Structure 1
Amino acid sequence: MVTIRDAFSGFSVDDIAAARDFYGSKLGLPVADELMGALRLTLPSGQSVFVYPKPDHVPAEYTMLNLVVDDIGAAVDELNAAGVETKIYSGEFDFGTDERGIAWGSRTGEGPDIAWFRDPAGNVLSVLAT
């Protein structure tokens, strides 16, 4: 069996400067420069996420990062005030979201209260309250 000392996740973006601004300024996460033009995000748990530039980047169409918040409504309001769109799904993929993009799982008994949004590279993220 392999002895694993630590682990971290990573994802690609097509514009590191835009990612640095988005994750640092709009989401308020600590962002540090890494080798070869990459970034390291530090999550509130202390875990790191590696963000690397990729010229032929294809956005993650699944939720690749979930950010836990205490108040989903306040989090969505703050994101929207920062210019982040939280109503990204409609039609058959609406997930029962309201006009702000919040799926109120606590009201339906079908999961957490959650809202999805995209980073500048098109990757899907969420804020959720459990």
Structure 2
Amino acid sequence: MAAFTVDRAFSGFSVDDIAAAKEFYGTTLGLDVEDNAMGFLNLRLPSGGSIFVYPKPNHTPASFTILNFPVADVDAAVDELITRGVNTKIYSDEEFASDERGIVRGGGHGPDIAWFRDPAGNVLAVMQA
């Protein structure tokens, strides 16, 4: 039996406020959020995977997308996120040309996508699937 196995691998990222992260990922985004024994969070995904969220006192927000949410209708998803208080226009048009809601149209060069941030400043995205 191999000592190194990959069947239980998971991803993780840091935040500066675990309570704010729990509220955002659980209430605002509607993910299944569990507290673990160490006081960290596990985000349970419908696909069966999980993501480990841990507090870090000197947290620096990820400047890259840490979590993507493929959706059937990016326009409807962005509208819903906005009604939940999420800002989906986080980049200037010089960085990524987008509409007033922050949706960047792929135009055959990639999916339509909109980025947003969690309370710790980490970048997330919804994208047309």
Q: Taking structure 2 as the reference length, what is the TM-score of the superposition?
A: 0.93
Q: Identify the residue that residue 121 of structure 1 maps to in structure 2.
A: 120
Task: Say yes or no: does 1:101 pair with 2:102.
Answer: yes
Cα deviation for residue 46 of structure 1 reads 1.4
Aligned letter for 1:10?
G
Pick the aligned partner of 2:76 from 64, 74, 99: 74
Question: Aligned residue for 1:15?
Answer: 17
Q: Which amino acid aligns with 2:19?
A: A
Structure with bigger helix share is 1
Q: 1:91: how far off?
A: 4.1
- Alignment match, 1:27: 29
Secondary structure of residue in 2 paired with 1:102 = coil
Structure 1 segments unaligned to the other structure (5+ residues): none
Partner secondary structure for residue 61 of structure 2? coil
Instruction: State the alpha-carbon separation in 1 of the partners of residues 5 and 24 from structure 2.
Output: 35
Distance 1:29 1:4 in 2: 24
Q: State the distance in 2 between where 1:3 and 1:42 align.
A: 21
Distance 1:122 1:3 in 2: 32
> Following TM superposition, by how much is the alpha carbon of 1:87 offset from its aligned partner in structure 2, in angstroms?
0.3
SS in structure 2 opposite 1:92? coil
**Structure 1 residue 5: Cα displacement:** 2.9
Deviation for aligned residue 1:84? 0.5
Q: For residues 99 and 85 of structure 1, what CA distance do their matches in structure 2 show?
A: 11
CA distance in 2, matches of 1:124, 1:46: 22
Secondary structure of the residue that 1:104 maps to in structure 2? coil
What TM-score, normalized to structure 1?
0.93
Aligned mates of 1:123, 1:82 — CA distance in 2: 18
Aligned partner of 2:124: which letter?
A: L
Gapped regions of structure 2 (runs ≥ 5): none
The whole-number CA distance in structure 1 between the counterparts of 2:128 and 2:93 is 24
